[in-house]
Structure 1
Amino acid sequence: MDLNRLIIKNGLVVNEGSTQQFDIYIEGEVIKEIGPALNKEGVRVIDASGKYVIPGVIDDQVHFREPGLTHKADIESESKAAIAGGITSFIEMPNTNPQTTTIEKLHEKFEIAANKSFANYSFMFGGTNDNLSEILKVNTKGVAGLKLFLGSSTGNMLVDNPVTLEKIFSSTNMVISVHCEDEATIRKNTQKYMDLYGDNIPLKYHPKIRSEEACYLSSSKAIELAKKTGARLHVFHLSTGKETHLFTNKIPLKDKKITAEVCVHHLWFSDVDYEEKGTRIKWNPAVKTAQDRDELWKALLDDRIDVIATDHAPHTIDEKNNPYTKAPSGGPLVQHALVALLEAYHQGKITIEKLVEKMCHNPAILFEVEKRGYIKEGYFADLVIVDTNSPWTVNSENILYKCGWSPFEGTTFRSRITHTILNGHIAYINNEVSKEKAAKRLTFNR
């Protein structure tokens, strides 16, 4: 048997808005042939009868904590969890320690990933108030994009100098991805609740502190600046219904200059969940009301929101168990994002074709990822096989995150990922991640 050749038989192949039963023949790293009833001698065979075959998910926003914060997570542990969750490619953020705000530190992260990652990888370069000269050195063909924190978050990379911001927006043709929360509003709100409660602010006030106003003020200013300068802007993790009206669905994604992302947690949780989940669902921006969640879903389905991501950002449970003002924001999500969203498919909220568009096709279009995000002949064989009728429950025994916990613990999902194929290699099967690495650095058609 030729282990360099693989055929996936009888799967329900989801690609570009349609689902059809096809076989997929893979040679080496690439998809060689797609069609009905393909017959090849001497190859490995996976029978996907009754299961969906989708492109590998591209997650455009993760925090894998390496270097410097590896007591929480590292590239090896979290990329394994990603593979188990059907995420075959990730774009990691710059707020590590040290921060990825120089070309030297960027190259160091690529070296770490080349040695340790189990999933395809790229990084965003971090912008600060004083590193424009470094930003201009970035090789745009080899780096996913630029990340700016317009509201402080983990890592303290706040960019708050308006002159610097305009220079950055005017000087780069990279996709500028932004975290939008107005810092002055957050500080004022935090002080108000600290005056009432000290450090032990009840979690239900988190969305009042990191409020709709804080989000809208910041995102509307970023969009105004992008329009003024012609910058290519991508607004991360929308959390409010009000913000969704800043975006359009009138033009194709490939022609949009201003795009938006929503994260799994803002589509799943609402403020009523703080009572049960506490700091485990403390994120920045905050999970807000059920009405906000409904409006995010509406904007996702009508294409004002372009991409679904995770903002995977693990912390230890001891860190999360601190009082409100000291408990860090963020949580682990890559292992459970796809199966969580497949619950929405089961509920009739979204079709599986639309999920594939938002999690696979659109990140590839938006970041111009080369030969990934689709099931096409000649493309890299990044594929996920999903059984939508195989329930399982998240518990401490099956969590792969280094931090060892999940906001979904105790949740029963109806769908299960049975196989993840990475560059033609079976990277995950039967609840096991392969010990062999097949990951590649992402490249971009720019």
Structure 2
Amino acid sequence: MKTILIKGATLVNEGKTVVADVYIKDGFIDEINPQISRKADQEINADGLHLLPGMIDDQVHFREPGLTHKADIFSESMAAVAGGITSFMEMPNTVPNTLTQKLLADKYAIASEMSLANYSFFMGASNNNIEEVLKTDPANVCGIKVFMGSSTGNMLVDNEQVLENIFSQAPMLVATHCEDELTIQRNMAAFKERYGDHITIEMHPLIRSAEACYTSSSLAVSLAKKYNTRLHILHISTAMEVGIFDALTPLKDKRITAEACVHHLWFDDRDYADKGNLIKWNPAVKTLADKEAILKGLLDGHIDIIATDHAPHTIEEKALPYLQAPSGGPLVQHALPALLEMYHQGKLRLEQIVEKTAHNVATCFQIDRRGFIREGYWADLVLVALNDPVKVTKANILYKCGWSPFEGQTFQAEITHTFISGNLAYQKGKFMTNETGKRLAFNR
């Protein structure tokens, strides 16, 4: 493995911004100092560039196996690396659903050969696989995923005793998708009675309502408090939910944490008129007030992590009428640029972006030696030119599905280099290595 010397970068790390050199050896950060004169196989002049710890995305759907007409681990990890995401955690609602240890191992085998980024996979829970769930090794699997609300796939866990069993026995972090199915069904029935089949995308956040999210999130939190479960609630989408979470406990001591996604920070229900089904997600993009409350929750510590919920579908699937169009969209290539745009807009500081996309993810999931720019840690790093604008066009979209809800958007910042476990994987629009990423390990 090459030694690499990054010269004169502006490091953004652990609440501080300083100019320093970084020496990478055998995949790890070997030295950080204002001036390093050691010889290296490769030297990169980072004058004027900001060096960030790579984003760790704790929620993606890369669609392999079974749905590879939409995406696959190779294509989406490539897009992630180009977008400054160095590690991802992938969800179990593939085909077949990842509900056995054998199927989980199969996904790890694919990633070991195909993923350009570092990787981990959630073990899926269903109404009838508790024995398999409890076999999951906390040291090398990111967590257990529970769909407490139906979404893409057929993994709804709605049996109360099963939920009690999972929350009381889970040996590791439990991540939940929280939308109350009975509330959604009741809302859908009311809209169908009124509109028949002429339901439109603007009604999506009223059907998959704030009440549905709050009811389910509240149940998850109550179960976690009852059993002292390590709970992580994914993609908070409402102002109502933000107040459920504790902002005071130090993150490392929190038993209940929460995540916001880029699309809930960027879009609101006014955007349905222009974007239509391209911004149909579960949970739904909701009101401006919800969007503003989520951002405030991030800033004050109620919400701990920013992720993508990257979930691509083909453009043909998205062009179907509302009731037939699937929920989800591609985001990994453009998540960090969008957050850096929010920095330019004065909504987030660089230190906060790094905290919510890298430091806190590593802390919440207890990831071994990643998420920080520290000596002895894996060199998962991203160089950013903050003032080199890039417009999102079909020509530069890397997702297998070929589209983005950000198409036409100009981002002020460009990802110039991405380092994966010490390898320079991406540089100024080109992929530089055939090396695959590493399987994440966890200090549990």
Q: Same fold (TM over 0.5)?
A: yes
1:218 aligned to 2:216? Answer: yes
Distance across 1 between alignment mates of 2:20 and 2:272: 44
- Within the candidate set 98, 101, 109, 2:99 is matched to 101
- Within the candidate set 112, 121, 130, 2:110 is matched to 112
Counterpart of 1:430, as a letter, is K
Secondary structure, counterpart of 1:397 in structure 2 = helix
Q: CA deviation at 1:197?
A: 2.9
Q: CA deviation at 1:50?
A: 1.1
Q: Counterpart in 1 of 2:24?
A: 26
Q: CA deviation at 1:435?
A: 4.4
Distance across 2 between alignment mates of 1:401 and 1:333: 9
Counterpart of 2:97, as a letter, is Q
Q: Counterpart in 1 of 2:247?
A: 249
1:381 aligned to 2:357? Answer: no
Q: Counterpart in 1 of 2:68?
A: 70
Q: Counterpart in 1 of 2:85?
A: 87
1:197 aligned to 2:192? Answer: no
Q: Counterpart in 2 of 1:415?
A: 413
Q: CA deviation at 1:102?
A: 0.3
1:333 aligned to 2:301? Answer: no
Secondary structure, counterpart of 2:297 in structure 1 = helix
Show the 5 A alignment for 1:145-160.
145-160=143-158
Q: Counterpart in 2 of 1:279?
A: 277
Distance across 2 between alignment mates of 1:249 and 1:168: 26
Q: CA deviation at 1:347?
A: 1.1
1:180-235, CA deviations, whole angstroms, 9 ceiling, x for partnerless residues? 00001101111222223333311111000000100000000110111111111100
Q: CA deviation at 1:343?
A: 0.9
Structure 1 stretch displaced more, 269-278 or 193-202:
193-202
Secondary structure, counterpart of 1:105 in structure 2 = helix
Distance across 2 between alignment mates of 1:72 and 1:338: 22
- Within the candidate set 206, 209, 219, 2:207 is matched to 209
Distance across 1 between alignment mates of 2:13 and 2:436: 23
Q: Counterpart in 2 of 1:266?
A: 264
Q: Is the 8 A contact 1:7 1:25 kept in 2?
A: yes
Distance across 1 between alignment mates of 2:39 and 2:96: 51
Q: Is the 8 A contact 1:206 1:282 kept in 2?
A: yes
Show the 5 A alignment for 1:391-402.
391-402=389-400
Q: Is the 8 A contact 1:309 1:359 kept in 2?
A: yes
- Within the candidate set 51, 55, 58, 2:56 is matched to 58
Counterpart of 1:220, as a letter, is S
Distance across 2 between alignment mates of 1:211 and 1:48: 46
- Within the candidate set 277, 296, 299, 1:298 is matched to 296
Structure 1: unaligned runs, 5 residues or longer: none
1:366 aligned to 2:364? Answer: yes
> Under a length normalisation based on structure 1, what TM-score does the superposition of the two structures give?
0.98
Q: Counterpart in 2 of 1:43?
A: 41
1:328-347, CA deviations, whole angstroms, 9 ceiling, x for partnerless residues? 00000000000001111111
Q: CA deviation at 1:173?
A: 2.5
Q: Is the 8 A contact 1:15 1:375 kept in 2?
A: yes
Q: CA deviation at 1:143?
A: 0.3
Distance across 1 between alignment mates of 2:111 and 2:191: 41
Q: Is the 8 A contact 1:199 1:324 kept in 2?
A: no
Q: Is the 8 A contact 1:390 1:414 kept in 2?
A: yes
Counterpart of 2:240, as a letter, is K
- Within the candidate set 230, 233, 237, 2:231 is matched to 233
1:31-78, CA deviations, whole angstroms, 9 ceiling, x for partnerless residues? 100001111225311111111100011000000000000000000000
Distance across 1 between alignment mates of 2:349 and 2:248: 21
Q: Is the 8 A contact 1:199 1:323 kept in 2?
A: no
Counterpart of 1:410, as a letter, is G
Q: Counterpart in 2 of 1:161?
A: 159
Q: CA deviation at 1:434?
A: 2.8
Distance across 2 between alignment mates of 1:164 and 1:238: 23
Q: CA deviation at 1:107?
A: 0.5
Secondary structure, counterpart of 2:309 in structure 1 = coil
Q: Is the 8 A contact 1:427 1:438 kept in 2?
A: no
1:312 aligned to 2:310? Answer: yes
Q: Counterpart in 1 of 2:355?
A: 357
Distance across 1 between alignment mates of 2:343 and 2:16: 15
Structure 2: unaligned runs, 5 residues or longer: none
Distance across 2 between alignment mates of 1:107 and 1:198: 44
Q: Is the 8 A contact 2:257 2:304 kept in 1?
A: yes
1:91-114, CA deviations, whole angstroms, 9 ceiling, x for partnerless residues? 000000001110010000000111
Secondary structure, counterpart of 2:406 in structure 1 = coil
Percent identical among aligned pairs is 57
Distance across 1 between alignment mates of 2:385 and 2:428: 12
Counterpart of 2:62, as a letter, is F
Distance across 2 between alignment mates of 1:443 and 1:433: 25
Q: Is the 8 A contact 2:117 2:438 kept in 1?
A: yes
Distance across 2 between alignment mates of 1:139 and 1:383: 28
1:348-385, CA deviations, whole angstroms, 9 ceiling, x for partnerless residues? 11110011000000010001110100000010111000
Q: CA deviation at 1:433?
A: 2.1
Show the 5 A alignment for 1:174-185.
174-185=172-183
Counterpart of 1:187, as a letter, is Q
Q: CA deviation at 1:409?
A: 0.2
Q: Is the 8 A contact 1:55 1:356 kept in 2?
A: yes
Secondary structure, counterpart of 1:4 in structure 2 = coil
Aligned length: 444
Counterpart of 1:359, as a letter, is T
